[in-house]
Amino acid sequence: MEIEIRALDHPDAALMVAAAQAELKARYGEEDLTAMETAEFAPPRGLFAVGYQAGRPVACGGWRVKEPAPEQGLRAGDVELKRLLVVEEARGRGLSRKLLAWLEDAARLAGHRRMVLETGTRQPEAIGLYLSSGYQPIAKFGFYRDDPESLCYAKPLTESATPRP
């Protein structure tokens, strides 16, 4: 998979975000209502990427700076992972793990110290990916912090997530 940085409003990014929203709607009965603005995912405050196979978009994900909110456990240097998705027909090949590691490295190289995320109980594949990638449960934050199906995780960005040859 080749990974390219794209603006959130790039046609391929928009296509993938719509696929992510459709997935969430199928699992939860509604799309993610968390606000996402294009400018939040533009350097230096964020980044959005699309993964391609044979020139076709098959994965996406991004991060954005989270302002410190001590009452929600958010610290200076935190970035939030959003819209990590691999389309159904490309799953089972390690693409989500590759894209997650790439996004972590990009955030670390941009000077950020911790990746935080929110997911839900109806996404066991995502939960498994995050736990096996070193994420630990944290206090709930953000739009869904009072939702019983919400789960939040964090991982320090202290070293490269991508294995080096």
165 is a domain residue: no
- What's the token pair of residue 42? 């533009």
Report which of 62, 52, 69, 36 is spatially closest to residue 115, judged by C-alpha positions: 62
Measured from the Cβ of residue 22, the count of other Cβ atoms closer than 10 Å reads: 12
Tens-place pLDDT, residues 110-148: 999 999 999 999 999 999 999 999 999 999 999 999 999
163 is a domain residue: no
Total count of domains within the chain:
1
115 is a domain residue: yes
Tens-place pLDDT, residues 69-85: 998 899 999 999 999 99
- What's the token pair of residue 146? 């009072």
Q: What does the pLDDT read at residue 158?
A: 85
pLDDT at 162 over 80: no
Counting residues of the chain whose pLDDT is more than 90, the rounded percentage is 92
CA distances 13 to 23, 136, 140, 156, Å, are 15, 28, 27, 27
The CA distance from 86 to 148, in Å, is 25
pLDDT at 33 over 50: yes
The CA distance from 119 to 125, in Å, is 11
Helix axes 95-109 and 124-132, enclosed angle (nearest 10): 50
Phi, psi of 90 (to 5 degrees): -110, 5
pTM of the full predicted structure? 0.93
The residue range of the domain holding 76 is 2-156
15 is a domain residue: yes
Q: What is the mean pLDDT of residues 99-119?
A: 97
pLDDT at 165 over 50: no
7 is a domain residue: yes
46 is a domain residue: yes
128 is a domain residue: yes
164 is a domain residue: no
What CATH number is given to the structural domain containing 78? 3.40.630.30
